[in-house]
């Protein structure tokens, strides 16, 4: 409640005072009582008209960010009428999005004169991975005293995607199966099928690599530059069941941080990437086919951001049912530990002859013993993650 003078009991008492003042001919007191009562009645009428012509819109400067980064939330309020109004704006913000330093909440007030606009600016810091809703903005509009506010909830809410935190990783080699061994420029064997471009001919190179048409066009000898013989293809598989059973949310987050970081590292190396998970991905697919497009990495990070610690199927079933696997693919499988689900996935990869590395969250002591069951090397997350010194 903004004022005690809008309480009916207080208004009654002011009415009594008015009566006494009139009885004793007290002009000052009569005037004050009339002013108080007049203002409350006037404010009520003013408030009824206040909502018309009020417009509101919210925007953020970015929709996707990493934990620790901040975004700017702008809410515009416009009074498209002659009557000045008082506006209180509050924006509900979900979960791990918090106000940046100096602010306590996403609430602000201001007065709007005729045909005036106001802009509320707040800084929001993302603290944890996830998809969060910002808004819809909740407006209270009323008379200039703000005694009788009327509420309006705007329609436009904004979704902010917070990717998993990227952590530094130790050098990590993927198991490969290539026709020509080491791919790319280092390879002694060039793949003659895929020509990337041309360059000036070097006399040490074989003559069969000369691009005659390009040489004729440039009027000097040009040789073909070939694409790498084989591009690395990495499938990232995330098994969620054990995390869910043990309610191991912190371990789950750590795992996703490593998955995201490995995806970024692999993308920087020019690998084709794909992702499969048996977890619930809210508002997105749980399988992302292998691809090399520039959008592939953001798509993987977005799936990781949307991924819940809730399994909706067996990972092996998902793999059998839905995934088309290209030749020459490697896989990195992430799970909490080695359980039946992991063994089933391992059987699938063994059957498809896909070289696989298994990453488990549990301690290294448990990794060593059962590695052979999985048909591949089992690593702990700690083995590939470089531990960062905690900020004081």
Q: Which residues bind other proteins (CB under 8 A)?
A: 2-5, 14, 17, 20-21, 24, 26-29, 31-32, 35-36, 39, 84, 86, 88, 108-111, 113, 143-146
**Residue nearer to other proteins on the CB measure, 111 or 270:** 111
Cβ neighbours for 39, distance < 8 A, ≥ 6 positions apart: 5, 145
**Residue nearer to other proteins on the CB measure, 30 or 222:** 30
Q: How far is the CB of 99 from other proteins (least distance, A)?
A: 15
DSSP-assigned states of every residue in 76-103: EEEE-SSS-EEEEEE--B-TTEEEPTT-
Q: Cβ-count burial of 354 within 10 angstroms (0-12 exposed, 13-18 middle, 19+ buried)?
A: buried
In the chain, what's the furthest Cα-to-Cα distance? 119
Q: How far is the CB of 28 from other proteins (least distance, A)?
A: 5
Report, in this order, helix, strand and coil percent for the chain, each rounded to 5. Answer: 35, 30, 35
Question: DSSP character for 294?
Answer: T
**Residue nearer to other proteins on the CB measure, 113 or 205:** 113
24: tokens are 């004793």
Q: How far is the CB of 59 from other proteins (least distance, A)?
A: 19
d(CA 141, CA 391): 44
**Residue nearer to other proteins on the CB measure, 143 or 251:** 143
Q: Is 209:248 a contact under the CB 8 Å cutoff? A: no
How, if at all, do strands 64-65 and 195-200 pair? unpaired
Neighbours of 25 (CB within 10 A): 8
Q: How far is the CB of 112 from other proteins (least distance, A)?
A: 8
Q: How far is the CB of 115 from other proteins (least distance, A)?
A: 15
| Helix, coil or strand: residue 309 | strand
**Residue nearer to other proteins on the CB measure, 111 or 369:** 111
Question: DSSP character for 155?
Answer: S
d(CA 118, CA 136): 17
Q: How far is the CB of 32 from other proteins (least distance, A)?
A: 6
**Residue nearer to other proteins on the CB measure, 111 or 175:** 111
Q: How far is the CB of 158 from other proteins (least distance, A)?
A: 24
**Residue nearer to other proteins on the CB measure, 24 or 203:** 24
240: tokens are 């969620």
In terms of residues, how long is the chain?
A: 392
Q: How far is the CB of 47 from other proteins (least distance, A)?
A: 13
**Residue nearer to other proteins on the CB measure, 88 or 231:** 88
d(CA 3, CA 368): 70
Q: Cβ-count burial of 159 within 10 angstroms (0-12 exposed, 13-18 middle, 19+ buried)?
A: middle
């Amino acid at each position: 409640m903004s004022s005690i003078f809008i309480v009916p009991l207080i208004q009654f008492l002011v009415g009594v005072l008015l009566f006494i003042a009139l009885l004793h001919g007290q002009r000052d007191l009569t005037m004050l009582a009339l002013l108080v009562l007049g203002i409350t009645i006037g404010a009520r009428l003013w408030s009824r008209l206040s909502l018309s012509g009020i417009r509101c819109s919210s925007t953020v400067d970015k929709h996707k960010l990493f934990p620790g980064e901040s975004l700017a939330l702008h809410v515009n309020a416009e009074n498209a009428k002659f009557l000045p109004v008082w506006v209180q704006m509050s924006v509900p913000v979900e979960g791990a999005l918090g106000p940046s330093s100096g602010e306590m909440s996403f609430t602000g007030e201001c007065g709007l004169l005729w045909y005036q606009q106001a802009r509320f600016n707040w800084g929001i810091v993302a603290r944890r991975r996830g998809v969060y809703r910002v808004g819809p903005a909740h407006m209270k509009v009323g008379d200039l005293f703000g005694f009788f506010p009327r509420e309006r909830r705007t329609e436009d809410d904004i979704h902010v995607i917070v990717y998993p935190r990227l952590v530094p990783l130790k050098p990590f080699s993927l198991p490969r199966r290539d026709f020509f061994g080491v791919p790319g420029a280092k390879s002694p064997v060039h793949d003659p099928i895929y020509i990337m471009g041309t360059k000036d001919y070097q006399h040490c190179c074989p003559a069969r690599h000369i691009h005659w048409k390009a040489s004729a066009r440039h009027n000097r000898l040009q040789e073909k530059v070939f694409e790498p013989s084989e591009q690395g293809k990495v499938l990232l598989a995330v098994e969620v069941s054990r995390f869910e059973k043990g309610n191991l949310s912190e371990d789950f987050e750590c795992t996703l941080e490593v998955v995201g970081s490995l995806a970024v590292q692999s993308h920087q190396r020019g690998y084709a990437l794909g992702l499969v998970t048996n977890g619930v991905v809210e508002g997105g697919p749980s399988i992302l086919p292998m691809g090399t497009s520039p959008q592939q990495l953001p798509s993987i990070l977005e799936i990781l951001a949307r991924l819940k610690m809730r399994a909706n199927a067996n990972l092996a079933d998902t793999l059998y049912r839905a995934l088309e696997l290209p030749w020459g693919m490697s896989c990195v499988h992430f799970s909490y530990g080695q359980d039946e689900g992991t063994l089933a996935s391992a059987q699938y990869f063994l059957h498809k002859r896909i070289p696989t590395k298994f990453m488990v969250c549990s301690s290294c002591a448990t990794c060593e013993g059962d590695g052979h069951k999985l048909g591949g090397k089992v690593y702990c997350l700690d083995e590939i993650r470089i531990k960062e010194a905690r900020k004081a």
